[in-house]
Structure 1
Amino acid sequence: MLNLKEMIKEISRKSGLKEDEIKKLIEDKQLELSGLISEEGAAYIVGRELGVNLLKEKKMQLKIKNIVSGMRNVEIVAKVISISKPRIFEKNGKSGSVVNIILADETGRIRLSLWDEETALAEKIKPDDVVFVKSAYAKEDKKVGLELRLGKRGSIKKIDEEMHIEVKRDYERKNISDISDGEYAEIKACLIRIFPRNPFFEVCPKCKSRLERSENKFICKEHKEVEPEYKIFVSGIFDDGTGSIRSVFFKETVEKLFGKITDELRNIALKAMDYSAIYENFDGLGKEYILRGKVKKNEFNGTLEFIVDDICEVDVKKECEILLDKMNMNFNI
């Protein structure tokens, strides 16, 4: 038998209402019945009124790793990792649209495809939401493998539940002109400018907060005088022909861009007694790179900038494969 907390969670999950709303309904139901019924009894009645039968035997929660092709009436609780923009296409003289949602739980990840009218459901959720997918079915897609699709009575709803999982981010290839605030993306662009500012700053080795300098000492607000640890960041402008964007690099991505570790770059600056020395032999201007990261709106000027998570030079062979895949996808639609 479910306890009260489990009842509230189950009603919330099945009805789409928040747990606080369910609690209020239970309190109201007790008042309506003059306190002659327990909280659990009121919860059963509230559940039934919302179409949730709590008297049914509790089912084991299906996990993503256990989904196989051909399964029907699939119900899962999962975290939204990413939501693609609607893709419009034509087939047999009719137009259609599709939105792909990547879902994950602690056992794996899977794609849920929403088609045509279903795509409106994606507008009610966002990345990092925990959702309840109901009445879905699993099938094998030729290109991406196993995926979920909604049945006639299928739905996907945000629920008031937490799910702590570590997932690898999906970076969808985008033109700079198409990216928007808050999304993770991959861009292929040319570095057209780098800002020759002092890239080094001091942080506390214990809490990693920025240090204040007092004469020849470095002071942390929490740990007082400390021996600083040096961090590095640089920024530049990348252009892909559709637009340009300021991109910001920290530590590992700076090291990849310059081909040197932070200590080497700092030694170059110290030897020359001028931080601009690290830019003098930099040969990345005019080169094309693949950048992966998060788009963020600058709070001061309102423009978009790209916080780089990873960078690599363009692999021509891989780019040709991506282009061929796109051509095949368009041909098959």
Structure 2
Amino acid sequence: MGLRMSPDFDQIVQEVMEEAGVNREELLEKIKEKQEELGGFITPEGAATIVARSYGVIPEREEPEVRKLRIGDLSTGMSNIDIIGRVVRIYEVREFERRDGSKGQVSNLVIQDDTGRIRVALWGKQTLLVTEEELEKGAPIQLQGAYVKKGFSGNPEVNIGQRGKITIDPEDERVEDLPTLPETKVKISELSPDLQDVDLVGRVIAITEPRTFERSDESTGKVASLMIVDETGQTRVSLWDEKTDLVKKISQGDAIKIENAYVRTGLRDKPEIHVGWRGRVILSPPSSEVSELPEFEVKLLKVEEVEPNMPILDIAARVRRIFEPKEFERDDGSKGKVMNLILADETGTIRASFWGDMVEKGQKLSPGDVTVIRSARSKMGWGNRPEIQVGGRAKIEVNPEDIEVEELESARVNLGELEPGLDTLEAVGRVVEVSEPREFTRQDGSKGKVASLTIGDQSGISKVTLWGEKTSFLSDLSIGDVIRLEDCYSTVGIQGQPEIHVGSQGNLEIDPSADKELPPLEELKEELGAVERVEISELTEEGRQVQVQGTVVHIFHRRPIFDICPECGRSLGSVDSSLMCEECGKVVTPEHRVVVSMVVDDGTGNLRAVAFGKVGERLLGKTADEIFQAFQESSDISEVYEEFDLAGRELIIIGTTRRDKYFDQMEIRINDTESPHPEREVKRLLEKIRT
């Protein structure tokens, strides 16, 4: 292909030769190659301009002329293009800082025509089309004065800045050829895990305030939650980081439209919506899109629907347990009073704390009563579990005639996914080990009995602790039997692993009917001693028992101690009621247990690792009582952790993976640790190479 010379062309060539020191033959060859690369859609002057820019020369001439194009015609380097497309996706505006310190805005679209799709970046004032919601998904648009450059993914990307022009619903013959978009909105009942780019509309029935958390990469994140409904059901929506600011603009009863969200499995294995940086929340969607939504009415929440940090909530539940009121002293020296209850419905249990004058109303309740609590709030309690706070503005109804609450049924858990703090749970497992009952002396001088056994299912292994008269069950039990546990609770054992406890309300029975669904005894015994060494980057599923070698790169400076009841092992909950045991129903002197949370990095990735009990003591090199004493005496928790000297240590961690459902991140619950032994590690690597 020859180059048609013109005065403009000659001027550009001359400028590049003079400013960049390039000889004419080399320059003309590069211009020819660029014009061929762009398929002839660009003039020689335009190709010369692009080549000039590659040498850092900006010719003094008008922008190159280009024909009206289709998306399939576009390639990197084109400028001043005129393109038509239908909007497929709209992403929220993001702010960035330029090199000179000034702020800029950018937003992204995806458009398509009958030849393909391409990403579009809107810069500066062009982003107002998104922030002012003038641009809608499905609309045809015309981009004029745009240019094409390589995007982050390496593919061509259209960019349009201040001098470009965007026309919505243009009068152009190319619009007739644009394909219509398939319907992408889903109903709540159609949600399934791992769906991407989800669009849906719903009505907001509950809102939480944003809460801050630390990620395993040491960055700080924020999350807030909504509960939304449509005509097919309801779901939880998590808003992440800058999206949490939206809760200030949303009220109960508002209809919203969500675009570009993704779905993950959440609490109780139900699909939930997540809105990250790519997601978009439209606060006032067109009436035509929300016409089928149910009208808003104040909703009495189920226990499973209570989120931490709800500023206002209404709930109906049945009183399960009541504890004696407790007086406490505030920081200013004044006295206060609090009373704790355990509430339940068919979806779970939750602690409710009655404060001040509300204690008197709480004392009028009895176990089994149905109570409606209005205008309460919630907070984050032990183990990232929400707790209800009932203060002066709350209203209480007892056994209203028009409200029914179903009884709580035991919730069966897989042993490999066991977490502390669960109540009224059910588990089935094959007995792998059994210990003899032993006697202990309670604080009041009376005698008690405790025994333990180990059971396993297809997901993992767990220890079971039996208290009091439940220890007599062992006389009828043999290794290899299948047992069913009901109305039990879970806590952290002395070695740091989650375990099941069977107290006065718990039941056990030998259940041969479940034999076929469980692994054989020999397989479970092998699992007790066999744990696979993996890299952190491979850890994507929860309930997996693994071994990881890595370096401690960060320690979370949290309270390193939690309290448990010495007589039944149950966690004593939040600090304001740390001496009241839910299981025993009396005040006890707590037993201290260690908890340490850190980030471990192995070069392929990092994740949070949490150690409890004796494992935590070994890591920190002190007993629980010594750590408690150091914590009590220090005014600066950082000094306490500096003394532990844990950061930078190389460790082999054996534990079980889990996903924190509230903060959507993987972590490993540590069962044991050891220091790497060079000879053993060399031997292990050689064995790996051989196999």
Q: TM-score, normalised by structure 2?
A: 0.24
Could you say which structure has the greater relative contact order, defined with CA pairs below 8 angstroms and 6 or more residues apart?
A: 1
